[in-house]
Amino acid sequence: MSSWNAAGLRSSADTIRGAAIPKISYNRRMIAKDLLDILVCPVCKKPLELRQNPESLRCGQCRRVYPIRDNIPVMLVDEATIEPAQADQNRTG
Ligand SMILES: [Zn+2]
Using alpha carbons, list the distances in angstroms from residue 86 to 7, 11, 67, 82, 83. Answer: 42, 50, 19, 12, 8
For the chain, domain boundaries: 28-89
Which CATH architecture does the domain made up of 28-89 adopt?
Single Sheet (2.20)
Give the residue with greater pLDDT, 37 vs 2.
37
Give the Å distance between the CA of 63 and the centre of ligand 1: 6
Give the Å distance between the CA of 89 and the centre of ligand 1: 19
Give the Å distance between the CA of 34 and the centre of ligand 1: 19
pLDDT at 1 over 80: no
Regarding beta strands 81-82 and 72-73, do their DSSP bridges make them parallel or antiparallel, or are they unpaired? unpaired
Give the Å distance between the CA of 14 and the centre of ligand 1: 44
Q: Which amino acid is at 13?
A: A
pLDDT band at 46 (very low <50, low <70, confident <90, very high): very high
Q: Which amino acid is at 43?
A: V
Residue range 48-61: mean pLDDT, rounded: 93
Using alpha carbons, list the distances in angstroms from residue 72 to 24, 31, 55, 88, 89. Answer: 18, 8, 10, 30, 30
Give the residue with greater pLDDT, 26 vs 48.
48
Give the Å distance between the CA of 71 and the centre of ligand 1: 20
Give the residue with greater pLDDT, 13 vs 44.
44
pLDDT at 64 over 80: yes
